Structure 1
Amino acid sequence: MKVALLHRRPVRAELCLKRADYRCADCGQQVVLCRGTKKVAYFAHHKRDECGSSDGETP
């Protein structure tokens, strides 16, 4: 997913640079920022769960 919540406000992964308490906009569970040199930045759940956004991307 490319959008998560930080302090209840939406943030885009490509604008984030460090670890923080990012939350899934759909289920509210904690997500981690994934950044690298080969892929576009995105947020991912720590483990696969039943959240609908864990299977695809958010706008």
Structure 2
Amino acid sequence: RERLRAAVLDPLAARLDGPDAQARARMATAVFLGIGAMRRRLGPEPPTSADVDRLTAVFEACLAE
């Protein structure tokens, strides 16, 4: 837990402007880790352009103020 906070959450939150930066960093990290877990369980599939567009929208929503 502390390693994840020091290596990922705190640096990401420090780069975010606006309120609730730590919470937004946690949401984006949860999405990212969830994608990794799904790929490990279901097998890696190359992302389509629609996948990339959708993931971009999800990350933008997580990181928005």
Instruction: Tell whether the structures are fold-level matches, with TM greater than 0.5.
Output: no
Give the number of the structure with larger relative contact order, counting CA–CA contacts within 8 Å between residues 6 or more apart.
2
Give the structure with the higher percent strand. 1
Bigger radius of gyration: 2
Give the structure with the higher percent helix. 2
Q: Could you state the TM-score of these two structures normalised by the residue count of structure 2?
A: 0.23
